[in-house]
Amino acid sequence: MKVIALEEHYLDAEVGRHFTEGGPEAKMPALRDRLLDVGDLRIKEMDEAGIDLQILSHTAPATQRLDADTAPKVAREANDRLKATVDRSKGRFLGFASLPTANPRAAADELERAVTKLGFKGAMIHGLTWIGNEKLFIDDPRFWPIFERAQALDVPLYLHPAVPHPAVVEAYYKEYVKEFPSILTAGWGFGVETATQGLRMVLSGVFEKYPRLKIILGHLGEGLPFHLWRIDMTFGRQGNRTTPFRETFRRNFWLTTSGNFSTPALLCTAMEMGVDRILFSVDYPYVPNPPGVRWMDDVPLSTEDREKILSGNAQKLLRL
């Protein structure tokens, strides 16, 4: 079976110079080396695991934390370099664009350029966008021009985690960060923050305005499939504005397996969303390739369903 992996990260050294916060790669040279490598080492590790194609996306926070004047140029140049990487790969890589979300109009224009001129398959948005002193979720109406353009181009936006809002860190996690730093990131904080992004998008009404907008969430939906029935039921209680939450989520979202190789979680997601909404991903290099591919060999699904997850659904969504 062909294997396509959708949430596979790299680091553009020029973008990295603008980071104001260090990720795990700052203290882990081997991880940083793999993020920077978009050539022989990466392809060797893809071959060893049996991965045919990676959709490359810049690691967090990409250009989310850059100001409205700086971000457009940085994003454009990074996307041009990613295009050159894709071309050199001879079919092993495709790209998701980085967007200068602090300047939403410029972000919409860069999305269009990346799709129509560079051949990218959508874009990845990391966590909160910082505009001045504001730290904004992506459902803020200021960002809706990006959604309008994504619908018009018929490409998905991948909502990816980044470090939670500083106020959340202070209130929820500070006592445990020293001993368990991953409580802020993949251990817990990433998932909660990104699930909140997805939930807020549904409640914002953006899918009523842009009903064909396509959103991807990683890590088997950041826990949302497990909660869909309960969210939908409680939002139907008196005092809440009526919203078809579960219906909207199941219609407008696709979910990947990135960094969550759990068979019970996969089966829950398949039962709630349907197999056609699940896409294979590894989360390389934060997670190594082989465990994800080996896991898919043994999941209790039909051959047809495994093939959909490993490549068929991606081919359809990204029009490969």
Burial of 61 (0-12, 13-18, 19+ CB in 10 A): buried
pLDDT of residue 18: 86
Question: Residue written as tokens 């990104």?
Answer: 194
pLDDT of residue 46: 98
pLDDT of residue 242: 86
pLDDT of residue 22: 59
Tens digits of residue pLDDT in 137-165 = 999 999 999 999 999 999 999 999 988 99
**61 to 10, 65, 71, 126, 181: CA distances (angstroms):** 12, 7, 12, 6, 17
pLDDT of residue 24: 56
Q: Look at residue 117 and give its three-state secondary structure.
A: coil
pLDDT of residue 251: 97
Residue 283 is a catalytic residue: yes
pLDDT of residue 72: 97
Question: Residue written as tokens 């907008």?
Answer: 213
Of 109, 139, 283, 305, which residue is the catalytic one? 283
Q: What is the C-alpha to C-alpha distance for residues 157 and 146, in angstroms, rounded to an integer? A: 9
pLDDT of residue 25: 64
Q: What is the C-alpha to C-alpha distance for residues 132 and 1, in angstroms, rounded to an integer? A: 48
Sequence spans of domains, the chain: 4-317
pLDDT of residue 287: 97
pLDDT of residue 133: 87
Q: What is the CATH number of domain 4-317?
A: 3.20.20.140
* Residues with pLDDT less than 50, the chain: none
Where residue 95 falls (left for φ over 0; alpha for ψ -120 to 50; beta otherwise) is beta
Q: DSSP string covering 152-171, please?
A: HHT--EEEE--PPPHHHIII
Radius of gyration of the chain (CA): 18
pLDDT of residue 8: 98
